[in-house]
């Protein structure tokens, strides 16, 4: 079957029931997509399929035939959101980070804090309590930090 992966047309011959995450990690060596639960609950394996965030651990590869799949590797380290995740310490252990960034990419141009929370509701992070992630995403979109994503005080 054929599909577009990070802008390039790829053809593979695998069992059509193979999970998309296994194809990405094992056939193409794209290990930036992480597996946290294998049941679509944690979002660590989030990739974009035709621009929509999807858990690649519960998608059989046959479902992406002719579709466009985008993974964290496509950003190539140069995306402003990646830099902001570093600057704001939106990544602590880092295992949820690629999925979190991919999910955030689906946000519109001027998201509110509530929009950000809703867009990331399917992505679990156990380290940050999410606040630093909100700060990274809101700054990326040039939005003001609302209460709940505001600045710390050192007295």
Partner 1 sequence: MAAVGSSVARKDGIGKATGGAKYADDITFPGMLFGRTIRSTIPRGRIRSIELDFDRTGFTIVDYRDVPGKNAVDLMSQDQPFLVEREVRHMAEPILLLAHEDREKLAAARVKIEYEEDTPLFDPEKSEQVFKSIDIVKGDVVAALARADVIVEGTYRTGHQEHIYIEPNGVIAVPEDGGVAIHGSVQCPFYVLKALRCLLGSAHPNVRVIQTETGGGFGGKEEYPSMIAGHAVLLALKSGRPVKIIYDRVEDMIATTKRHPAIVRHRTGLTRDGRLVAMDIDVLFDGGAYVTLSPTVLSRGCIHAAGPYRCDDTRIQGRAVFTNTPPNGAFRGFGAPQTEFAVEVHMERIAEQLGIDPVELRRINALRPGDRTATGQILRDDCSAHMVLEAAVKRTDFARKREQYKGTNRTIGLSLFFHGAGFTGAGERNLKSKARLELTPNGVRIATGSTEIGQGTRTMHAQIVTDALGIPYEDVEVAQPDTSKVADSGPTVASRTCMVVGKILEECAHELKEKLGGLSPAEYYVRNGPLTVERMYEPPDWIQWDDNTYLGDAYATYGWGCDVVELELDPDTYEARPVKVTAVQEFGRPIHPALARGQIEGGTAQGLGYALLERVVMRNGAMANSTLTNYTIPTTLDMPEMDVVMLENPYPGGPFGAKGLGELPMDGPAPAVVNALRHMGLDVREIPATPELIAGCRTIA
Q: By C-beta, is 64 or 128 nearer to partner 1?
A: 128
Are residues 130 and 74 in contact, defined by beta-carbon separation less than 8 angstroms? no
Query: Cβ of 124: how many Cβ atoms within 10 Å?
Result: 16
Which of 64, 72, 107, 138 is in the footprint of partner 1 by CB under 8 A? 72
Least spacing, CB of residue 112 vs partner 1, in Å:
13
Draw the binding track, 100-129, toward partner 1 (x: CB under 8 A; -: no contact). Answer: -x--------------xxx-xxxxxxxxxx
Among 1, 67, 95, 145, binds partner 1 (CB under 8 A): 95
Interface residue with partner 1 among 70, 82, 104, 138 (CB under 8 A) is 82
- Select the residue interacting with partner 1 from 1, 27, 28, 35 (CB under 8 A): 35
Asked if 12 and 23 touch (Cβ cutoff 8 Å), the reply is yes
The single-letter DSSP state of residue 19 is: B
Cα 33 to chain centroid distance, Å, stands at 8
Q: 89-109 burial, b if ≥16 CB within 10 A, otherwise e?
A: ebbeeebbbbbbbbbbbebee
Q: Does 60 bind partner 1 (CB under 8 A)?
A: no
Binding of partner 1 by 17 (CB under 8 A): no
Is residue 65 near partner 1 by the rule CB under 8 A?
no
Closest C-alpha among 69, 63, 56, 76 to residue 6: 69
**Which residue lies nearer to partner 1 by CB, 64 or 135?**
135
| Residue 64 φ/ψ, nearest 5 degrees | -100, 10
Q: What is the Cα–Cα distance from 83 to 53, expressed in whole angstroms?
A: 20
Binding site for partner 1 (CB under 8 A): 25, 31-39, 41-42, 44, 71-73, 75-77, 82-83, 85-89, 91-98, 101, 116-118, 120-132, 147-148, 150, 152-155
């Amino acid at each position: 079957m054929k599909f577009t992966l990070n802008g390039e047309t790829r053809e593979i011959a695998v069992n059509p029931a193979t999970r998309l995450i296994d194809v990405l990690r094992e056939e193409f060596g794209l290990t930036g997509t992480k597996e946290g639960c294998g049941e679509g609950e944690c979002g660590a394996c989030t990739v974009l399929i035709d621009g929509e965030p999807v858990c690649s651990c519960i998608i059989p590869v046959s479902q992406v035939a002719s579709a466009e799949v985008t993974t964290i590797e496509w950003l190539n380290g140069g995306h402003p959101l990646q830099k902001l995740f570093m600057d704001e310490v939106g990544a602590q252990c880092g295992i949820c980070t690629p999925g979190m960034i991919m999910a955030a990419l689906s946000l519109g141009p001027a998201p509110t804090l509530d929009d950000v929370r809703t867009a990331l509701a399917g992505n679990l992070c156990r380290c940050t309590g999410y606040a630093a992630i909100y700060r990274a995403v809101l700054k990326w979109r040039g939005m003001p930090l609302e209460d709940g994503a505001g600045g710390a005080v050192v007295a």
